[in-house]
Structures are given as structure tokens and as C-alpha cells.
Amino acid sequence: MTNQTEKELPRGVKLLHDPVRNKGTAFTEAERDLLGLRGLLPPKVCSPAEQEARVLGNLRAKESDLERYIALISLQDRNETLFYRVVTNHIEEIMPLIYTPTVGKACQQFSHIYRRPRGLYISLQDRGRVKEILSHWPHRDPRIIVVTDGERILGLGDLGAAGMGIPIGKLSLYTACAGIHPTQCLPVMLDVGTNNEAFLDDPLYLGLERRRERGPAYDELVEEFISAVRDTFPAALVQLEDFGNSNAFRLLAQYREQLCLFDDDIQGTGAVALAGLLGALRISGGELAEQRVLFYGAGQAGIGIGNTIVAAMCEQGLSLEQARQRCWFFDSRGLLVAGRDNIAGQKAPFAHEHAPVGDFAEAVRKLRPTAIMGCAGQAGVFSEEVVKTMAELNERPVVFALSNPTANAECSAEEAYGWSDGRAIFASGSPFAPVPVGNRTLVPGQGNNAYIFPGVGLGAVSSGASAVTDEMFLAAARVLASLVSDEDLAAERVYPCLSRIREVSALIAAEVATIAHARGLAREPQPADILADVKAHMFQPVYPHYA
């Protein structure tokens, strides 16, 4: 260990309370002597594998997933290297605990299970001081900032400041899935109030106790935040997360040219759904440009997916209008049709000529879609009638129930397979267990944005991209779809196994970085081997040696 490192390292209890540097019982005998740890730890020096086994034993003994979530967050707060070792080595078991579906319940209970601060909270009360607040962040080089205002958390609605669990969870996936270093991840909550009556009546609620701000004061806070990030952390990528529909599209349009920024609910969801559809076509046959897709829900996710599918269809030779005619939307007012009054701007391109239809099953019968995609958080809307109609219309109907958490899924995997005699090609937003169908076991695909956004972020960080473009998300979708193996397809899984997520992220990152260099968006020199350079940027959850 160099003298410089000795000077930088805290000692004794301070080191044990530093989650970035703490090794817990894995500190060696020499390190314990050198760093003032002798007597502060049990005498046995444990290997990382022994520590991992202890964590897993405790975790699996918990009685509920929420308790497991709390245990994992507590581990992250005291030993990040061990936390990420556990997550990366057991990603299929742990991801549902630190993200969907468990993170939804954790956000609902956020003010009651709160333990230690993580990230930055910027409220309406902080206008004029946002740059000062950013300066309080202890790590000077954040590269990924995930920010929310808590208005549309998963399918749970307005959770206000309790929505902070989402940026924290997303950034955990950036590290676990793509190797962004934990010190380069910054979660941010823009607290502008909440309209959640239960929270406003809860004396333990940790956010502003006022109704949600809209209008100039809101816009001024967002503008100040964006300007402060641009000045303070100019190399950072900003990911907009779980903003309400009234703000998400306009904020993306307003700021995507000003700094490296994207909206995962719009662009990331679009890419992962497109990849799933491409995977489904490898099972059913047919070309993307021949598909007719009917969406239940015309919010960020639905419109984001629609726009992404349209762009991909245009690459296959359709005109923009022809591609849009193949995407139909059903929202809270029924089928989105031309002539309806008060159509939001982002929906207007998909308002086609058709008689009004107020029932989703009827819309399926009239439009004869090859695929239906649910993204409105309305459980059960893919009813037996809907799925059976899809199966009558299509030999291999595509049924994507993408709403999160699991309780909000439009139908379950078992329902989709059962109502279609095992012919449906199914994917969901939250995980479902494999389903026995006859002499086969079908494995539902999970259309988790974690397949997309970590790799896109890694590609942007490694290349120093000044912008994240729609072309990058289309490329990410194609890479993801190409990684579905023959074994996956045999089980009718339309996404690769989550156990391959770091491989997926690296390959997506390399493609994103290649585009950044080709389009003149990269601020870093182009390496001879872009994939090798991407992999060199990836954090590995391995303890350093201090002595």
C-alpha cells in the first residue's frame, strides 16, 4: 500500500463505517494492524465466499421479500463490495428483491423502513441553492445520475419523496449489471410535494407535506437542477425516471439536446419491448414490418414502445405513416382514434381513422392485432376473452403484460399460456415462474429495462458521449434480441437469461460507444478495441488489498 493510499484511507471505526472501503470480517491480519482495526472485529478473517454464504443464509431465512430488501439495503450501506458480489453472483434471485417487484412495496413503505440516507434530496424549498446541494455529494465524479420527482412510480402512482427507492434501485442495477462504479452513481429526488392522501396524512412521511407543485415553480426547479448538473458534473449522464406523463415527454424534448440525458420509461422501455418482439418473431416467424400491435395504455411506456417499433419498421422499408398505422392504442377513453378531442401531443401521431371502441376485447376483434402489449398498470385487462380471441386470430399470439409490479400485470404467465392452449408467446415486466404446459415447461420472458439502460449508460460513460440518441436505443434492442440463444427459444424465452446480464450490457455498451464515435458525439479518443475498452471500465466486486 502506498503512502498516498495510507493518507487517503480512514482508520479504525471510520473505515468500518465507510461502505466503499469497508471489508468487514475480510480485513487481513496485516490490514487490521496497519489500519487500527485490531479488536474492532471478531478474530476470524473470513474469505469473501464465507461472507457471501453468511449473507445468503440470513437473507433466505427472512419471512418476507420486504425484509430481504431491508437486509440487502443495509448491507449496501455498510459494505458495497460484498453487496455487489452477492447481487452479481445471484442476479436472478436478488434482482427481484432490490428492484421490481419488491422495490414497489419498499417505496410504499419508504418513510417507515428508512434507515440511512442515500443520494440527494432537492425540494422546492431549495430553489436558488441547488448547485450548493450538489457540492455536498461526497464523490466528485458521478457519471450516472438517476432523478425522479416521484409522480409515477412503477404502476403505483404518486409516491412523492418515497419514490427515492427507484433511483437507488436503478443505480444498483447500473453497478451490478454494467459495472458502473458505485461512487459514480448518484440518485436524486426532486421533491415537489405529493397528491397521495395517505402520505399527506402520515406523520412519518419524509417528504414535503404539501400538494404537488405544477407550473412555473416546478419548471424553475428542474431548470436549476439541469443547469447545476451541467456546471458541476459536466461528464454525467442524467436518466429521467418515473416522471408523470404531463412532464416526462416535454422534459425529454426540452433537455436531451442540452446534456447527455434520456428517459428510461420512454426510451429504455421502448428498446426492451422491441427486443422482446424481435425475439418473439424468431419463434413465430414473420417480419416486424408485417406486425399489427395493439397497446393497452398510452402513457410513457406505451408511446415509447410505439415510437421505437415505428422507427424499427421504418428501417425495414415502411414509411413513417405506414409504420404508425401498424400501432394502435387503447387508453382510459377507449380506442385512440382521429377526431377525438383533447388528444395529447405525444399520442396524436397514433390517432387513426376508426369508429370509437370502448371495450378492449372488442378492439382486439376489430383490429386483429398480432401482438398486444399492456403498459397501463391495470391488472387483469388481458382477460380470458382477450387472450382466447388473440389465439383465434393468430397461431402464435404475442401477449406482453409489461406493467409493474407483478400485482399490476395485465395477466399472468399461467393465464396467457392456459387460455391460448400453450400457444401464446408471453413476456412480462416483473418475473413469473416457469409454467408446465403439457410435456413442456415454458419460461416467461421478463421485459426488464435492466437489459437496456445499464449497457446504454456504460457505453455513454466509456465513450464520453455528449448525447444519447434514439439510434443508440434501436441498436441496443437489436443487440439484445441477437443474444437470445437457441436454448432460450426452445423454452420460448424471448430474452436471454439474466445470468448473462453483464455480457449483454458490455455488448450493448460497445455498440452505443461505436455509434457515439461514428456520429462525433464521443469526447473520449476512440480505442483500438471498443469492446475491450468497455470491459476495462467495468467495476468488479473484488476487495482491494490495503497491506
Is-catalytic flag, 62?
A: no
Contacts of 80 (CB under 8 A, 6+ apart): 19, 20, 182
Q: Which three cell numbers mark 78?
A: 455498510
Q: First CA to last CA across the chain, in angstroms?
A: 5
Q: How far apart are CA 3 and CA 205, in angstroms?
A: 46
CB atoms within 10 A of CB 466: 18
**Structure-derived torsion over alpha carbons of residues 386, 391, 394, 395, reported in degrees to the nearest 10:** 160
Ranges of H-type helices in 298-401: 300-315, 320-324, 360-367, 384-393
CB atoms within 10 A of CB 486: 7
Contacts of 69 (CB under 8 A, 6+ apart): 97, 98, 102, 103, 105, 106
3-state DSSP call for residue 167? helix
Catalytic-labelled residue, pool 69, 84, 105, 170: 170
Is-catalytic flag, 170?
A: yes
Catalytic-labelled residue, pool 23, 69, 84, 99: 99
Q: Is 41 exposed, middle or buried (0-12, 13-18, 19+ CB in 10 A)?
A: middle
Q: Is 535 exposed, middle or buried (0-12, 13-18, 19+ CB in 10 A)?
A: middle
Active-site residue list: 99, 170
